[in-house]
Amino acid sequence: MSVLAEALSVLVENRILTQRYPGGVEGFARDCPSAGFCSDGRISRVGFLSPRDTRFFLGVLEACGLHCGGESRVPEVAIVDQNVGLLHPCLWLESGHAQGIPLCWHAAHRPGRLVIPRAWSNKQSEAFEPLPDVPFPRLMRFLRTEDRLDWYQNRRTGELVYVDSPFVTH
């Protein structure tokens, strides 16, 4: 099985969540600040559109005791950019594309059936068309937060996209 890896994805093995995250996989799903959560039973994923939101969530995971990278330890959390793949070496995860859709799967298993977030739609996903070797943040430009919605513009097509703001600041 595999999970959607659209935009910027934060991924964790379910066995690590079960062992170390408060509430396990269910707690992780509940705590995910966006509608971009999905799990294939082996790995869990949450997606973001901005590096700022991704970094904030990584800080939350670190505060919960998950190791997000560094020189001395193997990362328990992986970050995947839909256009360039894994941002840091990670032996337990692989990424790729199937029919133009970015996806990730556990390295010990075949990709298999794709699991997507409940709120995912093909229509909105068209704005995120993968561009090989172009980091995702260069594709989408943040415009503003308005009424708890984050607005982005696709730099290539000019298309406007909005998502629920995962971290509302006042």
Do both 106 and 27 map to the same domain? yes
What does the block give as tokens for 84?
């360039």
CB atoms within 10 A of CB 144: 9
Establish if 123 belongs to a structural domain. Answer: no
Enter the pTM of the model: 0.82
> In the predicted model, is pLDDT for residue 123 greater than 70?
no
Establish if 120 belongs to a structural domain. Answer: no
Q: Are 111 and 102 in contact (CB under 8 A)?
A: no
Do both 17 and 99 map to the same domain? yes
Q: Which amino acid is at 48?
A: F
Do both 81 and 29 map to the same domain? yes
Range of the domain at 136: 128-164
Do both 97 and 160 map to the same domain? no
| pLDDT at residue 170, as a whole number | 39
Given pLDDT bands bounded at 50, 70 and 90, which one contains residue 50? Answer: confident
Backbone angles phi, psi at 53, to 5 degrees: -65, -35
